[in-house]
């Protein structure tokens, strides 16, 4: 249980320190692009993809037309749309490739990444840095040896800190969007699924 408690403390510490990277101007630009786009496309690979889906659901609850890239019902992206890509490393091939396609079609691109200077960061119109240990921070060669020796550089596996901090950041962004759009929790409940 000691390791589990240490992991939880490390995750919470990363989330708490995330606010130091939140720039009001960037948040305002994110909100402007999200609310002015005809459709918002969201994407991430693996667990970042789950974070993207959770955010898309909240956008729909707000009345914003949102799609998850890769789902069969996603339409084509156009110049009056935007794409929000979530990638800790900013180098995930499928993410970078999709954003490149979206940009070539004239859409705006928003990025959440730990590496603003990454390929994704360079493609995006607006980048929010989300601090977190990502898979590229791991020295694979020494990882198992460190674990056996009890020398834990991090007790959170792979991109956990980035993914959970991204989820918290995007939920905070929903709160800002609610206020900006004059929406209440009742408005969100109205659009919540009833087919469950």
Contacts of residue 51, Cβ cutoff 8 Å, sequence gap at least 6: 44, 86, 163, 166, 167, 170
Exposure string over 143-159, b if 16+ CB within 10 A, otherwise e: eeeeeeeeeeebbbebb
Model confidence pLDDT, tens digit, residues 14-47? 778 778 888 899 999 999 999 999 999 999 999 9
pLDDT above 60 for 139: no
Least Cα distance to 173 among 40, 8, 10, 80 occurs for 40
Give the domain ranges of the chain: 1-181
The pLDDT confidence band at residue 7, using thresholds 50, 70 and 90, is confident
State yes or no: is 29 an active-site residue: no
Instruction: Name the class of domain 1-181.
Output: alpha beta
Catalytic residue among 9, 20, 163, 196: 163
Instruction: Output the pTM of the full model.
Output: 0.85
pLDDT score at 62: 96
Q: CB of 100 within 8 A of CB of 87? A: no
């Amino acid at each position: 249980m000691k390791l589990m408690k240490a992991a939880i403390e490390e995750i919470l510490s990363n989330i708490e320190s995330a606010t130091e990277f939140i720039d009001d101007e960037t948040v305002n630009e994110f909100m402007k692009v999200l609310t002015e786009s005809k459709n918002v496309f969201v994407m991430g690979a693996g667990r970042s993809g789950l974070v993207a889906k959770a955010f898309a659901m909240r956008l729909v609850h707000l009345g914003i037309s949102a799609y998850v890239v890769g789902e069969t019902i996603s339409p084509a992206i156009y110049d009056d749309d935007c794409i929000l890509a979530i990638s800790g490393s900013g180098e995930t091939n499928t993410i970078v490739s999709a954003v490149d396609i979206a940009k070539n079609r004239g859409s705006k691109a928003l990025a959440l990444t730990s590496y603003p200077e990454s390929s994704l960061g360079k493609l995006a119109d607006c980048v929010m840095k989300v601090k977190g240990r990502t898979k590229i921070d791991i020295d694979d060669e020494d990882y198992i040896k460190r674990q056996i020796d009890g020398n834990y550089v991090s007790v959170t596996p792979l991109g956990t800190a980035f993914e959970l901090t991204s989820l918290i950041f995007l939920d905070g962004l929903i709160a800002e969007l609610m206020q900006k759009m004059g929406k209440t929790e009742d408005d969100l409940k109205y659009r919540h699924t009833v087919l469950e």
